[in-house]
Chains A and B, each alone.
Chain A
Amino acid sequence: MAEGRSQTYITLVLRELQEYRTSLCWTPLVLVMTLCGVLLVAVLLADHISAIGESVSQVLPSRDEAGNISIRIDSSVDGEPALEYRLEQTPAAPGNLNPGSVGQEQPEVLAGTLNPLLQGIHNLFLFILILVCANYLLATLFNDRRDRSVLFWKSMPVSEWEEVLAKFSVAILVTPALYFIASLLAQVMCLLLGMLLLWRMEMDPYALVLARVDGATLILGQLGGFALMALWLAPSYAWLLFASAGARRSPFMLAAGPLLAFILGERIFLGTSHLATVLSRHLPHYSGGGYAGFSWLGAADIPQMILGLLFTLAALAGAVYLRRYYFEL
């Protein structure tokens, strides 16, 4: 029985991946290939743009030198509001490199300095992932109703809960996994091509690239970021699925319209913006060091996250109800 259910689930997920293969499967692959293509062109042209090569070889040591320089900004000298910028030469740490010893630095000092660059690549995938998932969730139940294939899907021994949960899991689990693999592939390819570039410029690829990547921290952070994103985005995703199940014409309007109306109404009549504040926690936004805008959980976040997950269940139940009884346009 359990085997039959898992077989059904796999079939339902495969069906989604087939129907939305362009956005769910091809888009991340195209993104990987585009990034790799750009870097490959850079590698192939490396010999012809020696000026870039020279500047890179100068920039890399000078960045390390910058570790010995601190900048202090003092805004109050003797009670006078003044700004003073001062450069201080701090004593060089033992073992720190000098311009003449590129590639001889200690890895523990530099490990992780390339992580932000790789995280930037990952963030690009995250950004596109969220757009793709939102679009998928708005379309998936609505398109079945629009082309009337819903009658075929409903003629199969699959419950509405199974259908809705399979679609939800495609957005919250399966597609992020595909995009994570693609992101990882892109990051590895970028590192390899970067190493190839440096090797062609007769520099030490290991010291300048591999030693500067803290892979474990990076991957764990990115995986944790996906989990965090799933937990915070679940209510938004479930709401989009609900809109897809219930919309007569435009799922987007059903998803966005009532929320905007409530936010505006609250602001106009009550002068508050509680709903907007709550909603903003469940939408991707930029907050500096977080993953897709979501920072790690603090104790104060947990009640809101639990409320969000309860809302997720309610929205999914609503989508199931609509799928069961109001599927015709």
Chain B
Amino acid sequence: MSQVIKASGVSRSFGNVKAVDGVDFRVESGSIIGLIGPNGAGKTTLLRALLGLTRYRGDIDVLGYSPLRQRAQVMEQVCFIADTAVLPRWMRVAQLLDYVAGVHPRFDREHAQALLADTDVALTRHVGNLSKGMVVQLHLALVMAIDARLLILDEPTLGLDILFRKRFFEQILADYHHSERTIIISTHQVEEVENILTDVMFMDRGKLLLQQSMADIAGQYVELHALGENVHKARGIPHLGQRVIPSGVAFIYRGIQPDLLAPLGELRTPTVADLFVAILTGEGTDG
């Protein structure tokens, strides 16, 4: 698989605040990456650096281009949906399609219209008159009609109800993603995207805490649900984090053979959210 993004030593400061602090990572073609982090972790700044929307120090290569110097070329192969509705409200839907068709060589207008035909978004309507869900549908239709190699979604479903959110990610997975397309999703609603991710990146205070494939996470991390007196024994084993569950405690371990833990309780793969909290809070005893 080819590498879509190569970033090394990427930093971005706003005054004394280091929004992104020396981040290194690689992204393989065809992966779906979840960029997870609390508010202010630097996710949006990092994504904007990838798109050339903000200055940065360090090196970023997106599909062979420098986002800072060759933003227009990057955007020919990269699609981007920002965290809030950013479509121009004064435009009619048809005008919006005309505009994208006029400036984007990889846009398929008929495909976009076909996608919109399945929604309530009429071509004659003003964007400003559409509901938030419809605006997201429209934006998604525009993006899905572009034959791009990289799709960057920055909190794309913020403020949408659960039905829209579910449909949004299902549509991306079913109709858009394939082995030549890479998707980076920044979101707080980790549980909703966890099942479609191939990789995760954890960020906090500008630093990259973890970048790992979901398969590696399943192989390296294990969650033990210890009950009764097993809680004390489990606590004695170096762990990443713990949380209270009914009648017991759940521990997350890294790099420990499941056979050793099996006598102490039920074993499972930790969810991305629980793993993130364990790593972020650092309340465990594992180095």
Contacts and interface: CB of A to CB of B under 8 A. Distances in A.
Partners in one complex: yes
Interface string B63-102: 0000000011111100111101011111100010011101
Interface in B21-73: 51, 53-55, 71-73
B215 interface: no
A152 B99 CA distance: 11
Given A155-B79, A157-B75, A12 B103 contact: yes
B248 interface: no
Contact of A147 (B51, B88, B95): B88
A152 B87 contact: yes
Nearest to B53: A154
25 contacts: A4-B105, A10-B102, A11-B99, A11-B102, A14-B98, A14-B99, A18-B90, A147-B88, A149-B89, A151-B80, A151-B82, A152-B87, A152-B88, A153-B88, A154-B51, A155-B79, A156-B75, A157-B74, A157-B103, A157-B104, A158-B75, A158-B103, A160-B71, A325-B55, A327-B53
B181 to A, nearest CB: 16
A15 interface: yes
Contacts of A160: 71
A228 B87 CA distance: 38
A148 interface: yes
B88 A157 contact: no
Contacts of A155: 51, 75, 79-82
Nearest to A15: B99
A174 to B, nearest CB: 16
A19 B71 CA distance: 25
A7 B86 contact: no
B72 A158 contact: yes
A302 to B, nearest CB: 36
Interface residues of A, number: 28
Nearest to B52: A324
Given A7-B103, A150-B86, A155-B81, 7 more contacts: A7-B102, A8-B102, A12-B103, A147-B88, A152-B88, A154-B71, A157-B105
Contacts of B90: 18-19
Nearest to B107: A156
Contact of B73 (A4, A10, A157): A157
A159 interface: yes
Contact of B103 (A11, A18, A149, A324): A11
A158 B90 CA distance: 20
